[in-house]
Structure 1
């Protein structure tokens, strides 16, 4: 009788130990992978939020891969050129301001050296290129080419042509005068006022 009792106790003990191992081990194994997964998600999600791309820019002309690219607010023209594969050998790099900030929905045309050289004729081109940018990198709206004007946020081909057409008979005496150009009002002016000069 005593022997049977000991056997029963031993069996119960083994059963309890095995049950404990059975229940505890899956809980442990299940817990660790879940913890790692959640950690990965928690570390990756903020990064994704920080990298959220909320502006679209069309860059074309003398770049290797023209197209529409997405950027974060505050990125600059140099980032757009890099995204488009960099300049082509024919690009007129000095005709664009790589430090300026990008704006949503804008089109940026990088001119070729030939285009930059022929925009106002051989005799006027050198003087125009020199005068188009001030020492601090601002674009002179009295002398800038279409391509140079189009590097400004909110200025596409039609607005650039309107600026050139306006100044052919009216000199810009102050940067505020650009608001006299058709299509350029306070909204566009506020975007470009820190990047232009006369």
Structure 2
């Protein structure tokens, strides 16, 4: 009787052991993301968008653009991060971008600043926040010429 019990226990273990596998739920992403849309849109606010939504879909979710909107500096195909912020600037006023607080996407909208320099700015300010606008010249790739091009568009 004892041998039969052990046999069935082993058989039971072998049969069910391979049917289950451990799943790490940290590898699964949410199907939606939260994005704050503000500036020159019809209905500023926080929107739940599909995971792969881009700037254009965020603008549509917020009711579209106002007549004052200036999208010349926006890349409509660019994705937005979960808990990201999209600011649609106005044509009538120059929106200054804070070099100490701007996202990669916002820095990328500055004239002459691409994704790699935007990343360098973020990395630099993690070490030490900018104290003056001229401190931006300490970032590799930003010299006097490029600084003169963007200084009217930035603030601390």
Which TM-score bucket, shorter chain as reference? 0.3 to 0.5
Q: Structure 2-normalised TM-score?
A: 0.48
Higher alpha-carbon Rg: 1
Specify which structure has the higher proportion of helix.
1
- Structure (1 or 2) with the greater strand fraction: 2
Select the structure with the greater relative contact order (CA < 8 A; seq sep ≥ 6): 2
